[in-house]
Structure 1
């Protein structure tokens, strides 16, 4: 596990107490592309299911996650693909 990935997981757990959380480091798929960081840990995909998202639309959920990860997104993470849902969204 990487340092940035661990920090993303920690912050998401602390802020959203997820029922499900999957954080994937997709950086290697972007080697040689714009935004690739030679240090790695620059591109991530996140799937998170949380009661906190109940009553929020997609944009509100994205903004909540972005607030929790603000400094990482500004300084370290180039791309974050996010699937955020409430438990009832997953049928």
Structure 2
């Protein structure tokens, strides 16, 4: 895999979630620009700090919302330790997303 500096954080997030959760859908939106002046962002040394993430995966079946979010946070722990400041997560099953009957 390419070194950390070559791939954007959004690309790394999408790849990690897609691979580990075998997701039917992974959408990653960088909304860092909305937080550009915040103190927490100024101290990170990166401008890729805030993301909206939508993940649709069978692996969420039978899991509570808290458990689903924990799964995502656990997969992105290295990103959270290296400047990722905030995630907005929408985690659903294919059925909940209307992809399966």
Aligned residues: 90
Match of 2:32 in 1: 27
**Shift in Å, 1:35:** 2.0
> 61, 66, 70: which is aligned to 2:68?
61
Q: 1:9-88 alignment to 2 at 5 Å?
A: 9-37=14-42, 39-88=46-95
Instruction: Show the counterpart of 2:96.
Output: 89
Per the alignment, in what secondary structure is the counterpart of residue 90 of structure 1?
coil
Bigger proportion of residues as helix: 1
TM-score of the pair, normalised by structure 2:
0.82
Q: Which runs of 5+ in 2 are unaligned?
A: 1-6
**Inter-partner Cα distance in structure 1 for 2:14 and 2:36:** 23
Where structure 1 has 5 or more consecutive residues not aligned to the other structure, the ranges are: none
TM norm structure 1 = 0.90
Aligned-CA RMSD value: 1.4
Aligned equivalents of 1:34, 1:18: Cα separation in 2: 34
**Larger Rg over CA atoms:** 2
User: Deviation above 3 Å: which 4+ runs of structure 1?
Assistant: none
